[in-house]
Structure 1
Amino acid sequence: MKLDEISVRQIKGVSAPKEQELHAFGVHSVADLLDYFPFRYEDYRIRGLAEAKDGEKVTIQGKIMSAATLQRYGKGKSRLSCKVAVDNLLVTAVWFNRHYLQEQLAAGREIVLTGKWEQRRLQMTVSESEFPDRGAVRSGSVQPVYSVGGSITQTWMRKTIHQALLQYGPMIEEILPLELVDKHLLMPRRDAIRCIHNPGDTDEGQAARRRLVYEELFLFQLKLQAYRSLTRNRMDGIAHVVDAESIRSFVKTLPFELTDSQKKVVNEILIDMRQSYCMNRLLQGDVGSGKTVVAAIALFAAYKAGHQGALMVPTEILADQHMRSLQKVFEGVGLEVGLLTGSMTERRRRDVLAGLQMGLIDVIVGTHAIIQEGVNFRSLGLVVTDEQHRFGVNQRSVLRRKGLNPDVLTMTATPIPRTLAITAFGDMDVSTLRERPQGRKAIQTYWVKHNMLERVLGFIRREVDLGRQAYFICPLIEESEKLDVQNAIDMHVQLMQAFPDLKVGLLHGRLSAAEKDEVMRSFADNEAQVLVATTVVEVGVDVPNATLMIVMDAERFGLSQLHQLRGRVGRGGHQSYCVLIADPKSEVGRERMKVMTETDDGFEVSRRDLELRGPGDFFGTKQSGVPDFKLADMSSDFAVLEEARDDAADLTHRENFWTEPALARLHDRLKSDQLFSGDLLD
């Protein structure tokens, strides 16, 4: 029997109620419990006061020199103190609300104290204390600290994991191939699990963490590399046969010249599409770099080869915009574009589904509705997903199965640092657009304080008088008791009062899809000159006439989100501006404002965002494909990530990877993953 098949109830001391509480932490089996790693450690090793810093938490040992005195104050509160001799110093030890210890604090008795050291007053505020004559259980050791709650305490969790190691430690199996354990001089898995929960010293703990971090990153990379290897090696995809001249003729119909970067990326995509393996390519480019045009050329190639295309986007507003822009691009070439969203009438939906199945619709644009049951294509050849970070690797896999292994092109306007590209998109080839289309001007960005709001309103007036429009972004929909930040509803009222002669729109997430569409249409048609909104517009309709983006309480947004908002303007030929209104109290907030005013390079913004926020928040959604690693950290463990990626790629490229007996445990893990359901693994 394997550890992941043994219930935690089998561990001595785990009652039925405790088992239920562990389930809430995601711990169901013995394997889950042993993989429930501490997030930090408490150092109870005894130190001399000479090396202790003021305000630091330390553990010291000494002799009680005076009887304890007890002071009571307030309702049920108490202060207990006594003098303790430590390293030729007489220290005052203080306990709050521990009156029951008074009788145990006898003069002449040895004691071990852990707490905050106040050097100036020669005083320690004690958090924990022990008596060596009773047999100390913590002092002299490094103790793990777990995420706990309810009736599950640190002491209980430590004791239970210790018991699990006693009962089941010998059953812990090695997961990694021995060649990799030897190559990287890694601690065996059994030893690493024991040491991560109970490190004898700092070096041992670091060695255990290094082993388990590598394992975590390797197993994730193995999943991506195995999937990539399968899709690349399987020659049952669609080879799009299309002559270069028809592509060139179509490109000539576009109202602008492609940038060198766009030409390079189009060639990479077309080379992939002509092959009989399935293309799996990520197209990343900064805001306004021209990704949609590249996607249109790829969809045209699929159409010319006799197949259909699909473009999946995260919102209905964006789906409608893309449908209209593609209809304009394909005007005159005989290509039929359709729309499929969740809010369509049943009759309209039936018509679209029939058109897809009969091949009357050549390109379908839609939201998640495209990957739902009942959506069938005559011959789906190319799938394009926009705003890549909204769709995880498993959703990409579902979409691929809508056809006979169609090519997949995924796009993102969030330039991804190499660290995360390797992690989240290891199953993909990457194409990058670096240039701005010709005629696009750099957006000028300013950071101002809240007391300059009147001047900002004057700026809006000047732009509107020139015939332009402005966005006004707020972090909240309505007033919050907990947060002192500007909300969209109040700001909408304030701006209507400031500009009684203008139409001021209001857009937020609580509006229905139809209401949002109406607000955006009004703004796009310049019926509304100012649009107050939450970040609903982060991924939204192009309004080339909008030249001013104002963000209230800008320090509350992540860098990549601010960069996305800034990219809503600057879409026409006029000079555009971004004004960040913020009084950041934190260093991180000030750093964000500084970065935004220093650079408009999305790749640099993303790199700095990763440094400031960490990878867990980078994409802002659990669908990102980036796991919440238990131990690994994308910034500090990047070197290990690259090693793991290379090792996983080397293994999966072997001809006998799926049959090698030494890799049987890895095969079992991969076959149990839903990503591989429906894929042949032999």
Structure 2
Amino acid sequence: MNDPVTVLSGVGPKTAEQLEQMGIRTVADLLAHFPFRYENNEIRPLTDAEHGEQVTIQGDVHSEPELRFFGKKKSRLTVRVLVDGLLVKAVFFNQPYVKKQIALGDHIVLSGKLDRHRLMVNGAVLKPASKLEQGGLEPVYSLKGELKQRTLKKLIEEAFAFAEGRIAEILPESFLKQYKLMPREEAFFYMHFPKDETAFQQAKRRMVYEELLLFQLKMQWFRQQERQADEGIMKSWDKQALRSFTAGLGISLTGAQKRVLQEILDDMRGGERMNRLLQGDVGSGKTIVAAVALYASVLSGFQGALMVPTEILAEQHAVSLKELFAGTGVTVVHLSGSSPAKKRRETLEQLKEGAADIIVGTHALIQEGVDFANLGLVITDEQHRFGVNQRRVLREKGLHPDVLFMTATPIPRTLAITAFGDMDVSTIDELPEGRKPIKTHWGKRNMLPRVLDFIKREAEAGKQAYVICPLIEESEMLDVQNAIDLHSSIESALPELTVGLMHGRLHHEEKETIMTQFQENALQVLVSTTVVEVGVNVPNATVMVIYDADRFGLAQLHQLRGRVGRGADQSHCVLLADPKTEVGKERMSIMTETADGFELSQRDLELRGPGEFFGVKQSGLPRFKVADLVEDYRTLEAARADAAKLVESGSLWQAASCRKLFEQLAAEGLFNNERVD
């Protein structure tokens, strides 16, 4: 299996080089290069096929083929085919030779994408008559260079002949019986040569489970290694003092807040270092939970750090924490990249000597020269905005501090247990009582004058509004309203109101001044780019207008919407957009249908896929060959539970039934301290 592909007949230096470009070096690599899609050669009535579906049809040529050329190499061949009494137009692109292969009256078989509205098959490909008898699924492989589909298929056939009887089973027999899984060699074969839909689905189910189990075993192994090598500090505190602080907050914690707080405090009391993700919807009360955890750390004799992505948010958190800890004797300091030199020196000295109990800041907290006396708890807000290395550097500054990551972008459970498989996940899944749901409306951009009239009425009642747009200045590339122009337009349309402008290019002092004016209602309208997306808290703001809303993802729209609805009054979010794509229209509809961040994140995942949901480069999400994180989430959860049992019990390296599984992971470098994705 690990022999080079050159052992196969027909693989010379040139073919070997082409396969190398595709990451195929061995016979095993070739067998594991599964098709990325399958063409269904089964001929069904057109009335049963969906619009946009790949179909195979047979019929009689009803018109002379018509060939047109565009430029030197592009062509379009059109022919009408009578299929079950329906006249279907078949369109062949860049296949001029097909004209000589068909004639009026011929009975032909072809496949392509069905356009039901125009009764047309686009991107048609002529099939040999034998396909009619063969039927079934035909694999289509991803290729590079000059390699052809038929060449690769022939090589895979040879690889199976060469490896017959040598594709070893790696799953324990108990798993095969429990999940009724197809044997490995059979599954490999039917992934490439499915005799029918049933055989293919069974083969795929087997390979999906195997792929997810191997991945989860790696995650559980790393998790165990980290815990063993990195013992935490068992913290203890005056329980009555913590209860008094919580009771003095002036609010009743929700059931969900109490549950996640208990999970966090249990971690802090334990001997293993906490590595937990706290996720909760906008306004669910994560900051209160963080404050109680920070107080527990201080009561235990340790310092706490809160790192946030923007200076505006750092400033706001510092102010709110100082208010929460007033009268407790807890010292809260603030550090950012723009802190004056003198203040910075004083803050650093307080930290180093232990005079500062809690520090709030941006990534400036991880710079060289920032030293802690006794760091016990690190909380990173909107954690997915920070790189893995930044988090690691901050974590290692103290003596094994507990680590809590927080996000207000709810992550579907599927992704949470994949991207954060080495973390524990806590979820606040309810909002505080008394919060009025934000009413969301979708209108076209030409409705802006009506929206401004509504803003004027709200301002006359003493309320305020945000107006968000994607860009700062005019762009020739995108037809989107820019903040500077929009600010001028709104100032002209609402001369009786004070309209502010904020964007990322302003200096920190300018941003602070504008936000202070808005918080004090010296500004009634704030035109801004997405710098207000996270954390900005102005309870008096009741209107959020998002211009060119179709340019934003669902998660970002939900974050922006969450800037209003923070007070007792009814709030509104207005989406102004003229989406030109179905996805854009779907996004606007979803926003008006639900305000549940978890439901939105699941819908966003379904619309965009996991890579785009997080951004593959930033997320470290694995690229699976067969598995799909959206469709296969139940299998993922089963694989995670199975992997956890095998690693925690030691069966992975002790049980005879797991020997092949262990060898597979060893071959992939798992036990050489390599991080395997």
TM-score computed with the length of structure 1 as normaliser: 0.80
Kept in 2: contact 1:8–1:19 (CA 8 A): no
The aligned counterpart of 2:306 is 311
- Give the counterpart of 2:194 among 195, 199, 202: 199
Return the alpha-carbon distance in structure 2 between the equivalents of residues 489 and 21 of structure 1.
Answer: 53
Describe the shift of the 1:101–1:613 C-alpha distance in structure 2 as closer, same or farther (beyond 3 A): closer
Partner of 2:490: 495
Q: Secondary structure at the match of 1:664?
A: helix
* Deviation readout 1:595-636 (Å, 9 max, x if unpaired): 444443434444444455444444456434654433323332
Instruction: Name the CA distance, whole Å, in 2 between partners of 1:111 and 1:634.
Output: 40
Q: Which amino acid aligns with 1:43?
A: N
CA distance in 1, matches of 2:489, 2:500: 12
- Partner AA of 1:41 in structure 2: Y
Contact kept, 8 Å, 1:40 with 1:146, in 2: the verdict is: yes
Counterparts in 2 of 1:53 and 1:263: CA distance versus 1, 3 Å: closer
Q: Alpha-carbon deviations, 1:209-246, whole Å to 9, x = none? A: 21221122223332343444556677931111101122
Question: Superposed, which structure 2 residues align to 1:509-524 within 5 Å?
Answer: 509=504, 516-517=511-512, 519-524=514-519
Say if 2:559 is the partner of 1:564: yes
Q: Does 1:251 align with 2:246?
A: yes
Q: Residue 272 of structure 1 aligns with which residue?
A: 267
Does 607-616 or 51-60 show the bigger shift? 51-60
For 2:448 and 2:664, locate their aligned partners in 1 and report how far apart those are by CA, in whole Å.
Answer: 59
What is the alpha-carbon distance in structure 2 between the residues aligned to residue 522 and residue 9 of structure 1?
Answer: 74
Opposite residue 570 of structure 1, the aligned amino acid is: G
1:113/1:128 contact within 8 Å kept: yes
Residue 86 of structure 1 and its aligned partner are, at CA, apart by 9.2
1:142/1:201 contact within 8 Å kept: yes
How far is 1:52 from its partner?
A: 8.2
Quick one: distance in 2 between partners of 1:505 and 1:636?
Answer: 46
Give the Å deviation of 1:465: 2.7
The 2-side partners of 1:555 and 1:99 are apart by 41
1:180 aligns with 2:178: no
CA deviation after TM superposition for structure 1 residue 553, in Å: 3.4
C-alpha separation between the residues in 1 aligned to 2:435 and 2:78?
71
Matched, 1:41 2:46: no
For residue 359 of structure 1, the aligned residue among 346, 354, 363 is: 354
* Greater Cα shift, 657-666 or 647-656: 657-666
- Is the counterpart of residue 507 in structure 1 residue 493 in structure 2? no
Cα distance between partner residues in 2 of 1:636 and 1:419 = 10
Give distance in 2, aligned partners of 1:120 and 1:336: 69
Aligned counterparts of 1:174 and 1:651: Cα–Cα separation in 2: 17
Preserved CA contact (<8 Å) 1:9 1:19: no
Distance 2:508 2:25 in 1: 41
Residues 277/44 of structure 1: CA separation in 2 closer, same or farther (3 Å cut): same
| Shift, 1:564, TM fit | 1.7
Count of aligned positions: 671
Q: Which residue of 1 aligns with 2:663?
A: 665
Deviations along 1:45-83, one digit per CA (max 9) or x if unpaired, are 5779998899975546789999x7776677667776899
Structure 1 residue 326: Cα displacement? 1.9
The corresponding residue for 2:545 is: 550
Output the TM-score relative to the length of structure 2: 0.81
Quick one: distance in 1 between partners of 2:612 and 2:587?
15
Matched, 1:406 2:401: yes
What SS does structure 1 have at the residue aligned with 2:649? coil
5 Å-filtered alignment, 1:81-92, equals: none
Alignment of 1:202-241 (within 5 A): 202-229=197-224, 236-241=231-236
**1:629 counterpart letter in structure 2:** F
Residues of 1 paired with 2:544 and 2:361: CA distance?
28
Q: Tell me how far apart the structure 2 counterparts of residues 317 and 419 of structure 1 sit (CA, whole Å).
A: 32
Could you say which residue in structure 1 is the equivalent of 2:290? Answer: 295
381, 386, 391: which one aligns with 2:381: 386
- Pair 93,519 (structure 1): closer, same or farther in 2 beyond 3 Å: closer
TM-aligned CA distance change 1:234 to 1:142, over 3 Å:
same
Distance 2:123 2:260 in 1: 64
Q: 1:98 to 1:424 in 2, by over 3 A?
A: closer
Equivalent-residue separation in structure 2 for 1:230 and 1:34 (angstroms): 32
Question: Residues 113-170 of structure 1: CA distance to partner in whole angstroms, max 9, x if unpaired?
Answer: 44578999999778333667xx999975633334456656655665666666677787
Are 1:128 and 2:125 counterparts? yes
Compare 240-249 and 400-409 and name the one that shifted more: 400-409
CA distance in 2, matches of 1:327, 1:114: 68
1-structure distance, mates of 2:568, 2:560: 18
- Structure 1 pair 514/220, CA: closer, same or farther in 2 (3 Å)? farther
The aligned runs of 1:445-456 (5 Å cut-off) are: 445-456=440-451
Q: Is 1:534 aligned to 2:532, yes or no?
A: no
Q: Which amino acid counterpart does residue 534 of structure 2 have in structure 1?
A: V
Give 3-state SS (helix, strand or coil) of 2:662's partner. helix
SS in 2 for 1:361: coil
The residue type paired with residue 127 of structure 1 is A
- Is the CA contact (8 Å cut-off) linking 1:231 and 1:277 kept in structure 2? no
Segment drifting more, 150-159 vs 330-339: 150-159
Distance 1:366 1:17 in 2: 56
1:398 & 1:170 partners in 2: Cα distance? 50
The one-letter code sitting in structure 2 at the alignment partner of 1:551 is I
CA distance in 2, matches of 1:345, 1:9: 68
Please tell me whether the aligned partners of residues 538 and 564 of structure 1 are also in contact (alpha carbons under 8 angstroms).
yes
2:644 to 649, 663, 671: 649
* Closer/same/farther in 2, CA of residues 254 and 94 from structure 1, 3 Å limit: closer
Preserved CA contact (<8 Å) 2:441 2:573: yes
| The one of 128, 144, 153 aligned to 2:139 | 144
Please name the residue that 2:463 is paired with: 468
Contact 2:491 2:497 in 1 (8 A): yes
> For residues 289 and 92 of structure 1, what CA distance do their matches in structure 2 show?
56
Change over 3 Å in CA distance of 1:647–1:492 after alignment to 2: same
* Contact 2:18/2:146, CA 8 A, preserved across alignment: no
**1:70–1:78 Cα contact (<8 Å) kept:** no
Q: Report what 2:414 is aligned to.
A: 419
Equivalent in 265, 285, 288 of residue 280 of structure 2: 285
* Distance in 2, Cα, partners of 1:606 & 1:481: 32
CA deviations on 1:639-675 (whole Å, 9 max, x unpaired) are 2122212211221220454555625336535435656
Check if 1:600 corresponds to 2:595: yes
Aligned amino acid, residue 289 of structure 2: V
User: 1:16/1:261 Cα in 2 relative to 1: closer, same or farther (>3 Å)?
Assistant: same
Distance 1:330 1:101, change over 3 A: closer
CA contact under 8 A between 1:44 and 1:140: conserved in structure 2?
A: yes
Greater shift, 178-187 or 152-161, is seen at 152-161
Query: Quick one: distance in 2 between partners of 1:315 and 1:26?
Result: 41
Shift of 1:499: 2.4
| TM superposition shift of 1:37 | 3.8
Deviations 1:494-542 (A, max 9, x none): 2122123444333345556666555444433444332222333221422
CA change 1:89–1:297 in 2 (3 A) is: closer
- Cα distance in 2 between the residues matched to 1:92 and 1:283: 56
Alignment partners' CA distance in 2, 1:382 and 1:490: 45
* Aligned partner (choices 616, 637, 640) of residue 635 of structure 2: 640
Query: For residues 150 and 430 of structure 1, what CA distance do their matches in structure 2 show?
Result: 44
Distance 1:166 1:343, change over 3 A: farther
Q: 1:7 to 1:315 in 2, by over 3 A?
A: farther
